[in-house]
Amino acid sequence: QDIANMAGTTRETVSRVLNDLERRGYLARDGRSIIIQDPNRLRDDFFHLGTTVIK
């Protein structure tokens, strides 16, 4: 819920995205921890999306 609140989205959306990233090998989950398997790969594959800040 905390991630959803920070991102301005729902818990369901965060769960769906995390499940997809885990399935694709970008991250692993261990209890309440999220482990980024390969930070460089994650950055390289998603850098083109940029970031958006909503105030």
The position carrying tokens 């390969």 is 38
Domain contains 30: yes
**Within a domain: residue 54?**
no
Give 47's DSSP letter. Answer: G
Residue 55 forms part of a structural domain: no
Structural domain of residue 33, as residue ranges?
2-49
Count of domains observed in the chain: 1
pLDDT in tens, 10-46: 999 999 999 999 999 999 999 989 999 999 999 888 8
For residue 46, which of 20, 12, 28, 10 has the smallest C-alpha distance?
20
Which residues have CB under 8 Å from 26's CB, separation 6+?
36, 37, 38, 41, 42, 45
**CATH for 33:** 1.10.10
Does residue 44 fall inside a structural domain?
Answer: yes
Would residue 7 count as lying in a domain? Answer: yes
In a domain, 15, yes or no: yes
* pTM of structure: 0.73
